[in-house]
Structure 1
Amino acid sequence: MVTPVSLPRRLRGFRDRGGAVSSEIPLTLTVRRTPCGQQQQQPEVPAQFLCPISLEMMRDPVAAPTGITYDRESVEAWLNRGRSTCPVTGRPLRLEDLVPNHATRRLIQDWCVASGMADERAPTPRVPLSALDASELMGAVAAAAAPGDGAACRELVARAMALARDSDRDRRCLASAARAGAALSSAFCSLSRHDAQTASSAGVLEEILAAIVVFSSPLDADSMRRIACSPSSLSSVVSIMSNADLSLPHARAAAAVVLREIASSSDAQCLDAMTNTHAIYVALVNILQNPVSPQATKAALVTAYYLVTARGELAAPHMAELGIVRHLIELLVDCDKGTTEKALAALDAMLLKCEEAKGEARSLRALAVPVLVKKMHHVSDMATEFAVSALWRLCKNDDDVNGGCKAEALQAGAFQKLLLLLQVGCEGVARERASELLRMLNGAREDGAECIDTVDFKALKRPF
């Protein structure tokens, strides 16, 4: 049971022109009766110590030019959402206009100690990273990497990563003001030209690669070309993605993300460099065969898709030879929506560009066709389009009438699902290929076969 107790409130706090709070702090206590009948007094936080945005006690108070004090985290989140005015006064406010309100912070600390809430006291805030400091830090990374000083470079990158973990504001400052992507990619290329296995540089390439993903995703065009068009740099990225014994578990995922960024740029130079690096195909198939993380798997699927669509005559046969079709089909058996869409896109591209891939998929029709039929519904419009397209490619010109893909599709219920798909509605290429698939399957159906199973309408939304 909570019983309010009124205490003399002769003095109330007020805010001076500089945004600081006066030392005349109102004390309001709440009496909490314990089961034993004793009274336990818990002080309420004075109103002037509450952030006007979060309505919680400020831990890092900052004063705005408008005379209002906010908690730094709350007001920075407010401004980062695209707003440019003071939440209380409505006057213009910029992120760089905020200054630490040391007076208010000391008052909060003193009040916490006096009221027995020492655990809640506001810590001394760390000074936010300035644009100049960020530029100097990234410049030092590039300077240390130029002569191959891996130890110094690793220490500087670790400092930058620590800043990013502690403060999202510092991370954005390093990414934008310091152009971290350019500095880190330059450092990566410099160190990759040196012996990365020496004691001074062991592991530094992995840490730089992870930092590139943190500070500069998506990569700018210059950084992508710098990495992709340097044989030593590209080989280092591929080597990191292929190395299952790394001490940094996230490094392989970072390498996969960097390759995805480069491949999806559609830059001709980058795509040529990647296509001519056979180790990339091995690394991509290895990631699909032995998954590291969902992020790495999705990145590898996107990379494979862009390589096949842009340079299919070279990339597709290499990946088909390594067994990527089997891994794509097995991956589709049980995966989330995003992975399903990407795996279907890669499979459809492989079937389009490579006859060997089509032959491999047909040899696996007992698994491939039912999976494609299943993915036609209840995933997404994109997944439906790719699934229909892939099944259409498998059934088209398939002369094995008795045990071919058409017979497998009929057995898996593709005819009914395609009819339902056309009734529910699909557009464009998906509709054209679904209609053509129906004609192909209709020719392979036995006379008297039932067209529609009523269970297929179970999830259909009716207008009545």
Structure 2
Amino acid sequence: MVRDDLYITVPSFFRCPISLDVMKSPVSLSTGVTYDRASIQRWLDSGKNTCPATMQVLQTKEFVPNRTLQRLIQIWSDSVNRRRDDSPEESTHSVLSYDQVKDIVKVRDIENDDFLCNLSKIVSFAKESDMNKIFLAKLDGFVSMLVEIMSNVKDVNILEKVVRVLELILNKIEDQEQLTNLMLKKSTTNQDCLNSLLLVLQQQSLDSRIGSLKILEFIAIDAESKLKITEKEELLSEILKSLSSDPDRRLIDAGLSCLISISMPKRVKLKLINQKIIIELKKLITDPNSIVSISEKALKLLEMMCSTKQGRSEITIDSALVQAIVHKMLKVSSVATEHAVTILWSVCYLFRDQRAQEAVTSGNGLTKILLLMQSNCSPAVRQMSADLLKIFRVNYKSCLSSYDTKTTHIMPF
């Protein structure tokens, strides 16, 4: 099988600004811009008298061969050929030109034995540069071709390649709603796209699983799309598994981002609570090796679960979880602090849960809240902290005197 990581990077200045292919005979105009001879000759023969890149009017239509650049391209080309000779596998995976990509999209011959190889080449083409990603995202029919494949093909190898390509160009797709419509709303057969993403999520390829999660996050743009995604119980379960089934932090981070994106509707929150998401989130925030982004997102999801009665009950019944949230108030980042304080404010102040209040007190939460109020926290955090102190009816002086450190100068306001 062709490896995805064997691809050739073409230096951008080796490409002709007109054809975007590697120049065979580079020549420079009077403006100093270099083009492939055949491309610029066609431009000038069409009657134009401007430089295509700068649109400056040319003082002369004469051009000069760029010998230095031609030598550099030749050296680079020889190096590529040597690499191909050394690696038979890589020789089948050379970089595509823009025209070759267009031909693949035009033909769309999924039954062709070379189609999987072509998809691998497109993955490498997308990896090569942002310019290539933009080209693919804007290429007429390309995104719809990927969706068509996902809707009709069950071959896992092909689906994984399609997911990899689509994930690479997601941020270059200007019309997010259009992609969502293609994958979810345009016709009932396109529901198979979700089945295809589920199939990829169930595989061992880490990059493809991450790509599937990012695609799901990208197309969850409104309540309708979020509900359609989560209607598939297997798919929701597989997304949740990403938090625990693999130790790779990238997969966990992508899983959390996806869950945040799809969890706005109350119905989805209840499904996740029933599938024990709070237990998984507790593991993440109590993990001493958890990275900042994972802690922030895990707390964000706990905050979202707090908006339901069932979520608050699951959180407050576990005093160790409440104390872990208290611990995160000052230990991670300002984002994590805001999420943690919001959770505590919700269960202790807004809904006056006695168990949560006791857990905060036993976890030295009052001292942490006082310290937090003296820090450079946001106005919202400061106000929620003040509300929490009112609930606990803190005697500020006695509280501080029981705090056995030299920081007795701290005052709550």
Relative to the length of structure 2, the TM-score reads 0.71
1:79 is aligned to none
Shift of residue 429 of structure 1? 3.4
Paired residue for 2:344? Answer: 391
One-letter amino acid matched to 1:186: E
* Counterpart code for 1:298: D
Q: Is the 8 A contact 1:358 1:394 kept in 2?
A: yes
Cα distance, 1:150–1:275 mapped onto 2, change above 3 Å: farther
Q: Counterparts of 2:138 and 2:404 in 1: how far apart (Å)?
A: 58
Contact 1:238 1:279 in 2 (8 A): yes
2:293 aligns with one of 335, 338, 341: 338
Q: Distance in 2 between matches of 1:346 and 1:101?
A: 61
SS of 1:426's equivalent?
Answer: coil
Name the counterpart of 1:212.
166
2:198 corresponds in structure 1 to 238
The amino acid of 1:421's aligned partner reads L
Structure 2 segments unaligned to the other structure (5+ residues): 1-12, 14-21, 37-52, 57-62, 81-93
Counterpart secondary structure, 1:217: helix
The answer (yes or no) to whether the contact 1:416–1:456 under 8 Å persists in 2 is no
User: Are 2:215 and 1:258 equivalent residues in the alignment?
Assistant: yes
Q: Deviations over 1:79-126 (max 9, x none)?
A: xxxxxxxxxxxx9489xxxx996732565699xxxxxxxxxx443599
SS of 1:123 mapped into structure 2: helix
Q: In the alignment, what sits opposite 1:280?
A: 235
Of 46, 65, 68, which residue of structure 1 is paired with 2:29?
Answer: 65
Q: 2-side partners of 1:392 and 1:348: how far apart?
A: 10
For residues 379-422 of structure 1, what are the alpha-carbon distances to aligned partners after superposition, in whole Å with 9 as ceiling and x for unaligned? 3332211110111223244554xxx2222212222112212222
Which residue among 366, 369, 382 is the counterpart of 1:431? 382
* 2:315 is the alignment partner of 1:377: no
Higher RCO, Cα 8 Å, sep 6+ = 2
2:183 aligned with 1:227, yes or no?
A: yes
Where 2:393 maps in the other structure, the secondary structure is helix
Q: Name the structure 2 match of 1:138.
A: 105
**Which letter does structure 2 place at the counterpart of 1:221?**
E
Contact 1:218 1:261 in 2 (8 A): no
| Pairwise CA RMSD | 3.8
Change (3 A) 1:164 1:299: same
Alignment: residue pair count:
344
- Give 1:32-431 correspondences, 5 Å limit: 64-66=28-30, 68=32, 92=54, 103-105=67-69, 107=71, 121-124=75-78, 131-140=98-107, 143-145=108-110, 149=111, 151-166=113-128, 169-178=131-140, 180-191=142-153, 196=154, 201-217=155-171, 219=173, 220-229=176-185, 230-241=190-201, 243=202, 245-246=203-204, 248-263=205-220, 265-266=221-222, 268-291=223-246, 293-309=248-264, 311-312=265-266, 314-333=267-286, 334=288, 335-352=290-307, 354-366=308-320, 368-396=321-349, 397-398=351-352, 400=354, 404-431=355-382
State the Cα distance separating 1:240 from its structure 2 match: 2.0
Would the aligned equivalents of 1:340 and 1:383 in 2 still touch at CA under 8 Å?
Answer: yes
Change (3 A) 1:457 1:181: farther
Q: Secondary structure at the match of 2:254?
A: helix
Unaligned runs of 5+ in 1: 1-50, 52-58, 73-90, 111-120
- Aligned AA for 1:413? N
TM-score calculated relative to the size of structure 1: 0.64
Q: Cα gap change, 1:188/1:414 in structure 2, threshold over 3 Å: closer, same or farther?
A: same
* Aligned-partner residue type, residue 104 of structure 1: T
Shifted more, 325-334 versus 213-222: the winner is 213-222
Residues 370 and 412 in structure 1, CA contact (< 8 A), matched pair in contact too: yes
Distance 1:456 1:290 in 2: 45
Report how far residue 284 of structure 1 moved. Answer: 2.1
Q: Which residue identity lines up with residue 261 of structure 1 in the other structure?
A: F
Q: Is the 8 A contact 1:128 1:170 kept in 2?
A: no
